Structure 1
Amino acid sequence: MSQDQFIIIAILLLSMVMFMWGRWRHDMVAGGALLACILTGLVPSADAFTGFGHPAVITVACVLVLSYGLQITGAVDVLSQRILPSSAGPTLSIFSLTALAAVLSGFMNNVGALALLMPVAIQMAAKQGIPTGRVLMPLAFGSILGGTTTLIGTPPNLIVSGFRAESGLGHYSMFDFSPVGVSITVVGILFVGLIGWRLVPGRKQAESASFETGTYLTEVRIVADSKAVGKTLREVEATLEKEDAQIVGMVRGDVRVIAPYSRRVIREDDILVIEAEPESLGSALGSLGLKLEEEVISKKASDEEKDSGDSKAEKEKSADKSQRKDLINKRGRKVAVKSEKLSESSETAETSQSEEKKTPSKSDELVIQELVVMPDSNLAGRTASDIELRTRYGINLLAVSRQGRRSIKRLRSTPIRGGDVLLMQGVPEAVSGFANDFRCVPLAQRDIRVPVKGQALLAVGIFMSAILATAFGILPVSIAFSAAVLAYMALRIVPPRSVYDSIDWPVIVLLGALLPVAGAMASTGTADVLAGALLDWLAQGNAVIALVLILVVTMTLSDFMNNAATAAVMCPLAISVASQLGVNPDSFLMAVAIGASCAFLTPIGHQNNTLILGPGGFKFGDYWRLGLPVEIVVVVVSVPTLLWIWPL
């Protein structure tokens, strides 16, 4: 072995030890490994940060943004309600979600399949009361397994097909991978979904700790197109219970009913007082097409103001025309024309000033923020109507949380007390100004959302368009997903100010720093040396042992290298070994395809493993607990299937 090969092995071993130790954050260890490679000359300084422009890094960042957009628009709520079992326990729920991920991954990029279902997994974990990671890791592994079933399921399959064509054997077809891929996927999902998920460490995210506000009381209006119109209160309550919400009151006209009769039929314009957890508030509204009362009032006020402004403008314009007509009669056409020009100029100026007033000088992005009322706040004893909340500040009071004490008054006429938590909606500057004026403390940002009608369908449409563009080879996945993110921003599906907040930057740094390190492993010939040595020492001319070694070595390398790079390194070696042994090269190429995709031991072996690192609260050494048994299952199932489908 050369000096460079010894150095890269030493750097990788030391990095693995630091990752396992967990004393430093994973992005710091990755940065240290990259710096060590640069200082030792293994990675040229000019190429030090090329990893951050790698398509894999861009794809991961885009997937995180798209996943966030699908979540906040309520698209995920609809998907989980219609496809997954609603009343199942954790085992059946995890198994169903993992199986769905595998099916989707066979016909779309497995990264995209994970992005689509990751928010569903997070909600499922919260509903089942289990750590998020115990749902996310099976989901990620299921999406990886499903990608092995078709040609387009994962990049290594395309790379293996390309190497087969270069060797003169032609490309693989769409479903040549299916017999082996489906076999390991079915067995793998049965193991992961029914047994394996219990092996995942029950980590909690560091940011998950937050102020406990309890449930919110809020008012919702039954609009004309709501699914609740014509249903009884009992039927509506049954739907809301699935979203952890309940009805505690009702308003019809000027009459407030504290304990409404369960068989009462709901009509348009009724107002329901519901109690819900802050995170489930949006899904509770979306399940029945309900509207927050404050938003309805705000929209009506805006429309009335617009109509009033239009009426006033028409009256002024009519008066101006009458004056101009009188002026023409009295002073002659020349003077009238001159006056008309001046009047038009004045009218244009007034219109400009009016439009300028209507155009907000600050951001018009609405945010939903929780504010705690301090004990000495001058809000105490006052109501939203008293302080003219909407008129003075342009913000809405959506709900109030009061530690279990319920008010029998309407929301806008409920006196506010010290310690109340207010759910406010408005532009960030207005909410901040209100908080400063009335001594309210903003809580840490939480995923509290109110879906906008139509945005869920739009978000899914854009996302699926990106998926189809990659599936049919129109655009690379990184370009298609980048275009989808831009569309999300342009259409305000994800507010521009929230785009960068939705990206897990330590994960991006980890991936961008380690890609040049993995490249150094390939460029120095270290991967070839290690794989060749293992085959010479252990295979000793036995084709079956050589096949197993190719599979195991490929899986091992893929756990620490990019899976596409691993496939590119191992394919020439597999073809060479098959040629030397005089056996069918397809068996060895398929072993490379399976091994390159099935990387379950580390968060850096596959993009899907990397994606769940932050949301699952995982450490680097958490993956092998479930990953090692899954890799054993893959080897045990795939070797006999390979020998049967692709005999030596």
Structure 2
Amino acid sequence: MELSALITLGVVVAVLATLASTRIAPDVVLMAALAFLAISGILTPGEALSGFSNPGVMTIAVLYVVAAGLKETGAIQWVAHSLLGQPKRLKHAQLRVLLPASGLSAFMNNTTVVAMFIPAVQEWAQRLRLPPSKLLLPLSYAAIIGGTCTLIGTSTNLVVDGLLQTQRGVSLGMFDLAWVGVPLVLVGGAFLYCFADRLLPDRLGVLEQLESAREYSVEVSVEPKGPLPGKTIQEAGLRSLSHGYLADIEREGRLMTAVPPDTQLLAGDILVFIGAPECARELRRIHGLKPATGDVHKLDIAHHNRCLVEAVIGPDFAGLRQTVKQSRFRSRYQAVILSISRAGNRLPGKVGNIKLQVGDTLLMETGQEFVEQYRYRKDFLLVSALNDSTPLNFRKAPWALAILGAMVVSSAVGLLNILEAAFLAGGAMLATRCVTASKARRYVDLTVLIVIAASFSLGAAMNKTGAAAQIAQWLMFADDLSPWLALALVYVMTVMFTELITNNAAAVLMFPIATAVADQLQVNFMPFALAIMFAASASFMTPLGYQTNLMVLGPGGYRFTDYMRLGAPLSLLVAITVVGLVPLVWSF
């Protein structure tokens, strides 16, 4: 093997190891790899940057605008509420979730679909007295599987289609994938319908789970010069709060528990309240109380510009597995954590000493611009911001759905290719004011686009240096290897990469290897390319492999083992279906 191929393999291994074992942002890792390949001379600048001009990447960028129009008009929410209905049994409820989620995600971004369904399903489950833990993970899986039915169903499909166009001169139609995707929805949906109820937990009763899902402990202190010193707890109005109750009083280093209502308050008392986030808002309105967290006073934000924000820690949060103090949270985000909830339970002890984890829900005091600044980044999955007080423009929902339908039809009948149809649809969303230009700009996830485009440089280097051909030769452990077995090996390898790194990066890395395997077997490359499309989307075994899996982690009260329990057999079933069907549609 030539030196350039060895260097390329070293870069690929380094990228995989870094993404799997560190919290460095994927776009930083892949851009560093791109820069190295260009500077070392393995790729020319044009080859290294070719991903940024790929039609698949541009199509994904434009579809973000289309998804923005659907979300801002409430079109998805309108359809979801129309389809959910009022079932009385859990099985009927699961069916009402599986069908619309898989159907909608075939034509729009599945992350957007799941984000809109989560609050609807939670409210619906509470009203019908059904456990949301039995519904939310099937919702995520149904959206993932549904996205495999059409070319625009998931970004992975568009990425592989872009590679096929640029490297093989082949372009897929809107519904070409449906020959495998629709049977996959039927098989996967049937499995979820039959076994999700048995395999998923119901750890708490529904009402108890919903009541404790966002419970915090909030500490306030009695101001020495305020009106409260000398008053009893009852006289101060602290026994009649709507959203919380007084649990303890810390006085001169001594903890007083179960305090009676006639206990007198003293200057400097630290009062510990337990309740919902609204409890903190109630306490802020009581004159004579101030936050006991010392860092609140260090915020460089005018008092009238502050607000309380609830946020869930995302996978790209910089201070994971560090204490709040070690993460320099206040100085980094200009926000102070008042309390932390994990898996539906409040965490006791000093906030500054708590180690932060993915899925932790934070109650923070911060500036009003915090929500806009971090709404579209991966540091946090904002809870408060998802329930935006700005009313949705439901009058525009029919316009948004009509634009989506026109895009799908014009591409399906061959009138326009998918990129042209997406450009027109995005422009129509802006022209009809379904979404404003400023909001559309915020919906475009530059991190995802950079990761995808930079990944192309790795694929190009593996092709150019012969590294892909060498890996393909290693996979061919026997001279008379069956194409079916080779296809299965490519599928399994793609799934492994998807669980370790992002699904799009896995597809780009595996594409040159898969086509090299096909070339060495002297068979059609299409079954291998299509297997990559489906395998890169088949992330069911961990909450971190796919964004929608992480989104339901907190609301469903799931643990990592729950994903493996339901996701492992589903992954095996999907693998058998794909490897069995793909060669029948695209023959070797």
TM-score, with length taken from structure 2: 0.53
Residues 458-513 of structure 1 deviation map (CA, whole Å, 9 limit, x = unaligned): 11112222222322233333332233223222332212222222233332332232
2:144 is matched with which residue?
141
Query: 2:429 aligned with 1:468, yes or no?
Result: no
1:478 to 412, 419, 426: 419
Instruction: Pick closer, same or farther for the CA change 1:210–1:3 going to 2, 3 Å.
Output: farther
Q: Bigger shift: 128-137 or 187-196?
A: 128-137
Instruction: Pick closer, same or farther for the CA change 1:562–1:640 going to 2, 3 Å.
Output: closer
Query: 2:390 aligned with 1:449, yes or no?
Result: yes
How many Å apart are 1:78 and its aligned residue? 2.0
Paired residues for 1:230-241 under 5 Å: none
Other structure's SS at 1:23 match:
coil
Structure 1 CA distance, aligned partners of 2:572 and 2:395? 46
1:203 is matched with which residue?
none
Contact 2:81 2:120 in 1 (8 A): no
How many Å apart are 1:530 and its aligned residue? 1.1
1:637 is matched with which residue?
577
How many Å apart are 1:10 and its aligned residue? 2.0
Paired residues for 1:271-282 under 5 Å: none
1:72 is matched with which residue?
72
Structure 2 CA distance, aligned partners of 1:136 and 1:40? 46
Other structure's SS at 2:149 match:
helix
Paired residues for 1:77-156 under 5 Å: 77-87=77-87, 96-103=96-103, 110=106, 112=108, 114=110, 117-124=113-120, 126-127=122-123, 128=125, 134=137, 137-147=140-150, 154=157
Amino acid at match of 2:146: S
Structure 1, gaps ≥5 residues long: 201-207, 213-276, 279-369, 377-439, 580-584, 604-608
Other structure's SS at 1:454 match:
helix
Instruction: Pick closer, same or farther for the CA change 1:97–1:503 going to 2, 3 Å.
Output: farther
Contact 1:77 1:120 in 2 (8 A): yes
How many Å apart are 1:529 and its aligned residue? 1.9
Contact 2:67 2:109 in 1 (8 A): no
Query: 2:431 aligned with 1:490, yes or no?
Result: yes
Structure 1 CA distance, aligned partners of 2:429 and 2:176? 36
Instruction: Pick closer, same or farther for the CA change 1:104–1:495 going to 2, 3 Å.
Output: closer
Other structure's SS at 1:146 match:
coil
Amino acid at match of 2:410: A
Other structure's SS at 1:6 match:
helix
How many Å apart are 1:73 and its aligned residue? 1.4
How many Å apart are 1:123 and its aligned residue? 3.2
How many Å apart are 1:155 and its aligned residue? 5.7
Amino acid at match of 1:545: L
Other structure's SS at 2:41 match:
coil
How many Å apart are 1:80 and its aligned residue? 0.8
2:272 is matched with which residue?
none
2:399 to 453, 458, 462: 458
Instruction: Pick closer, same or farther for the CA change 1:195–1:551 going to 2, 3 Å.
Output: same
Contact 1:160 1:593 in 2 (8 A): no
1:186 is matched with which residue?
186
Query: 2:514 aligned with 1:570, yes or no?
Result: yes
Instruction: Pick closer, same or farther for the CA change 1:594–1:459 going to 2, 3 Å.
Output: same
Query: 2:461 aligned with 1:520, yes or no?
Result: yes
Structure 2 CA distance, aligned partners of 1:180 and 1:36? 39
Structure 1 CA distance, aligned partners of 2:452 and 2:370? 28
How many Å apart are 1:72 and its aligned residue? 2.4
Residues 300-358 of structure 1 deviation map (CA, whole Å, 9 limit, x = unaligned): xxxxxxxxxxxxxxxxxxxxxxxxxxxxxxxxxxxxxxxxxxxxxxxxxxxxxxxxxxx
Other structure's SS at 2:70 match:
helix
Structure 1 CA distance, aligned partners of 2:507 and 2:142? 19
Instruction: Pick closer, same or farther for the CA change 1:115–1:177 going to 2, 3 Å.
Output: closer
1:549 to 484, 489, 497: 489
Instruction: Pick closer, same or farther for the CA change 1:147–1:455 going to 2, 3 Å.
Output: closer
Contact 2:51 2:457 in 1 (8 A): yes
Amino acid at match of 1:577: L
How many Å apart are 1:11 and its aligned residue? 1.9
TM-score, with length taken from structure 1: 0.49
How many Å apart are 1:44 and its aligned residue? 2.5
Structure 2 CA distance, aligned partners of 1:514 and 1:617? 28
Contact 2:69 2:400 in 1 (8 A): yes
Instruction: Pick closer, same or farther for the CA change 1:182–1:2 going to 2, 3 Å.
Output: same
Instruction: Pick closer, same or farther for the CA change 1:553–1:441 going to 2, 3 Å.
Output: closer
Structure 2 CA distance, aligned partners of 1:149 and 1:611? 17
Structure 1 CA distance, aligned partners of 2:149 and 2:65? 23
2:533 is matched with which residue?
596
Q: Percent identity?
A: 19
Query: 2:48 aligned with 1:52, yes or no?
Result: no
Query: 2:448 aligned with 1:507, yes or no?
Result: yes
Instruction: Pick closer, same or farther for the CA change 1:97–1:561 going to 2, 3 Å.
Output: same
Paired residues for 1:533-548 under 5 Å: 533-535=474-476, 537-538=477-478, 540-542=480-482, 545-548=485-488
Instruction: Pick closer, same or farther for the CA change 1:628–1:31 going to 2, 3 Å.
Output: farther
Contact 2:83 2:96 in 1 (8 A): no
Residues 362-417 of structure 1 deviation map (CA, whole Å, 9 limit, x = unaligned): xxxxxxxx9x99889xxxxxxxxxxxxxxxxxxxxxxxxxxxxxxxxxxxxxxxxx
2:5 is matched with which residue?
5
Residues 180-235 of structure 1 deviation map (CA, whole Å, 9 limit, x = unaligned): 554443222334566579789xxxxxxx99999xxxxxxxxxxxxxxxxxxxxxxx
Instruction: Pick closer, same or farther for the CA change 1:132–1:515 going to 2, 3 Å.
Output: farther
Structure 1 CA distance, aligned partners of 2:147 and 2:47? 30
Amino acid at match of 2:535: C
How many Å apart are 1:6 and its aligned residue? 2.1
Structure 2, gaps ≥5 residues long: 126-131, 202-212, 218-275, 288-365, 372-384, 555-559
Contact 1:590 1:642 in 2 (8 A): yes
Contact 2:148 2:157 in 1 (8 A): no
How many Å apart are 1:173 and its aligned residue? 10
Contact 2:94 2:135 in 1 (8 A): no
Instruction: Pick closer, same or farther for the CA change 1:595–1:27 going to 2, 3 Å.
Output: closer
How many Å apart are 1:116 and its aligned residue? 6.9
Amino acid at match of 1:636: I
Contact 2:150 2:178 in 1 (8 A): no
Other structure's SS at 1:188 match:
helix
Amino acid at match of 1:123: P
How many Å apart are 1:576 and its aligned residue? 5.2
Other structure's SS at 2:6 match:
helix
Query: 2:37 aligned with 1:37, yes or no?
Result: yes
Structure 2 CA distance, aligned partners of 1:628 and 1:462? 38
Contact 2:5 2:465 in 1 (8 A): yes
How many Å apart are 1:18 and its aligned residue? 2.0
Structure 1 CA distance, aligned partners of 2:367 and 2:173? 61
Structure 1 CA distance, aligned partners of 2:162 and 2:438? 38
Structure 2 CA distance, aligned partners of 1:210 and 1:48? 49
Other structure's SS at 2:447 match:
helix
Contact 1:156 1:567 in 2 (8 A): no
- Aligned-residue Cα RMSD (Å) equals 5.4
Paired residues for 1:412-423 under 5 Å: none
Instruction: Pick closer, same or farther for the CA change 1:460–1:643 going to 2, 3 Å.
Output: closer
Structure 2 CA distance, aligned partners of 1:464 and 1:515? 31
Amino acid at match of 1:597: F
